[in-house]
Amino acid sequence: MDSDNYDGQSHAGENWLYSNVVKEHFFNPKNFATAAPVDYNAVGLVGSPACGDMMKVWLKINPQTEKIEDFKWQTFGCASAIASTSALSEMVLEKGGKTIDEALTITPQDIMARLGGLPQIKVHCSVLGDQALAAAVNDYFKKTGQEERVKSNK
């Protein structure tokens, strides 16, 4: 990671070890759901309370175009998990929203690149974001009778 991305300031008595982009998404999350959204047609939940990171993603998908029109989320976890989900939501909604197929091309590496990197021990957070999106899309496929499009893993 590029050291120019780190602010070197102390946060809560410890050095902040994340990029300024991670800091921005953690302290000012984008597309965060304060309550469970209504009128969304896909939901995905991944993670484990035992390991500490849980992500829930809601998608509003246009059935005619398969464009993701909205992406809301809630994450219980560390700064990396929150920032990864926030950044992913922005990536999916850019330029009016990606189609399902376009959104599924986003990789954990793309999420980490958007964040300016993550510490090696936190890479799994970007993977969880990727898995949460895939789980929500699979939910949509099941709800719309497209079981043949359900994927077990990317």
Active site residue ranges:
51, 125
Q: How far apart are CA 70 and CA 152, in angstroms?
A: 23
C-alpha–C-alpha distance, residues 85 and 75, integer Å: 7
Provide the CB-side half-sphere exposure for 117 (13 A, CA): 11
| Residues 14, 36: Cα–Cα separation, whole Å | 33
Place of tokens 């994450």: 75
Which token pair is 128? Answer: 């969880």
Q: Say which DSSP state 68 is in.
A: E
For residues 16 and 62, give the distance between their C-alpha atoms in angstroms, rounded to a whole number: 40
Q: Are 111 and 83 in contact (CB under 8 A)?
A: no
**In angstroms, rounded to a whole number, what is the distance separating the alpha carbons of residues 135 and 44?**
5
